[in-house]
Amino acid sequence: MKLLRPLFFAGVGGRLGSGRQWLSWIGLDDLTDIYYRALYDARLSGPVNAVSPVPVRNSDYTKALAHLLRRPAALPVPSLAPRILLGQQGARELGEADQRVLPARLQELGHRFRHPTVQQALAHQLGHDAD
C-alpha cells in the first residue's frame, strides 16, 4: 500500500501487465488473528497459508483500490516500473507472481476472517466504509 497509494494519487496507478495474474492477499487484522490462533489453538500446527479465502486477479485488486481512492486506473503500469520500485527479484515475487493460494487448513478449523474480500480489507485499511 505504501508504494501503490502515491502512484494512484499521481494518476499513474494501474494493473500490472495483463492484470490476469492471481493475487493471494491478506489484511493486517486477519494476519494478526491468524498469528494469534497459531499461538493458542493446539489444533493448528504445521504450515498454514495465511491468505484471504478470496484471491483476486491483479486487475480486480487494482479496480478496488482505484475505486476506494477515487482515482483512475485505466492504463497498465509499464513492466519497467515494478522493477525500478521493487528491484528485479521483488518485481518477480510481488508484481509478477501468479499464485492462487487458499487457506485450506484455516477453513477446515472454521476460522472467520474479519475482512474476507479485497474490497472490505482495503476499505478498512484506508479508513472507508466498504461499498
Dihedral angle over CA of 63, 67, 69, 73, nearest 10:
40
Domain 4-126 annotated CATH 3.30.70.260:
no
pTM above 0.85, yes or no: no
**83-127: pLDDT as tens digits:** 666 677 666 666 667 889 999 999 999 999 999 999 999 999 999
The domain spans of the chain are: 4-126
**38-80: pLDDT as tens digits:** 999 999 999 999 999 999 999 999 999 999 999 988 878 766 6
